Amino acid sequence: MKKLALGLIIALLVFVLTLIGAMAATGNLSKEAIGKLLKRGAAGEKTPLPQTEREIAPWVEELKKREEDLRKLEAIVAEKEKRLQISQVELEQMQNDLQNLLKQVGATMEAGSENLQQNLQNTAKALEGMKSDKAAETLEGLPEDMAAKIIPLISEKKLGKILDDMDESKRIRLLGSPLETGF
């Protein structure tokens, strides 16, 4: 039994000397470090947190600073969210305005197209009511694209007489090839 106790004491002594050697090698061999090591005890208790106002003051200041920074960031985020909501409302209003404008443009174009078609039909009827040589002269004086739109609206019987009285080159330009116009 004495040998066993002696072996334990030697092992404990080797452990303590190894620990002291390690602390010396790392530069942690001081009264404070040894005191902290001995205060922890066998249960591995942690060192107590600072208790005095002087010890706590820097932590409190840091927490207050972080809290203030957080409030500032929250205010910035809230302002940006507010601006984003305003922008979203403005974009939705612009989208509605554009849709209404497109509807108006479409209606205007449709009305303009109907007016143009009515004007073309009225012109075709007027040309049908004229003598063929005067109708040919009038048709030749119109812009070619307009004349090309009026020609299909004139009755075939009257159109034949008008085309006979037209200048041949103008007639060919207006009618194009039979494959293009369907005549």
Per-residue pLDDT averaged across 5-10, rounded?
A: 82
The CA distance from 98 to 101, in Å, is: 5
124-181 residue pLDDT tens = 898 889 898 888 888 888 888 888 888 899 988 888 888 888 888 888 888 874 444 4
Q: Using the predicted structure, report yes or no on whether residue 22 has a pLDDT greater than 60.
A: yes
Q: Using the predicted structure, report yes or no on whether residue 36 has a pLDDT greater than 60.
A: yes
Query: Could you tell me the CA-to-CA distances from 42 to 33, 53, 69, 104 in Å, in that order?
Result: 16, 30, 43, 88
47-69 residue pLDDT tens = 556 667 777 888 888 899 999 99
97-124 residue pLDDT tens = 999 999 988 888 888 888 888 888 898 8
For residue 177, what pLDDT is reported? 46
Establish how many alpha carbons lie within 13 A of residue 105's alpha carbon, considering only the half-sphere containing its beta carbon.
6
The CA distance from 30 to 128, in Å, is: 122
The CA distance from 137 to 163, in Å, is: 10
For residue 140, what pLDDT is reported? 87
| DSSP per residue, 45-71 | PPPPPP-SHHHHHHHHHHHHHHHHHHH
Average pLDDT, the chain: 82
**Full-model pTM:** 0.41
The CA distance from 152 to 181, in Å, is: 9
The CA distance from 89 to 26, in Å, is: 65
Per-residue pLDDT averaged across 25-37, rounded?
A: 70
The CA dihedral of 60, 66, 67, 68, to the nearest 10 degrees, is 110
- Percentage of the chain beyond pLDDT 90 is 20
For residue 49, what pLDDT is reported? 63
Decide which of 21 and 46 is more confident.
21
- Asked if CATH classification 1.10.730 holds for the domain at 60-177, the reply, yes or no, is no
Contact (CB, 8 A) for 130 and 138? yes
Q: Helix and strand tally (H, E) in the chain?
A: 8, 0
| Chain Cα centroid distance, residue 72 | 27
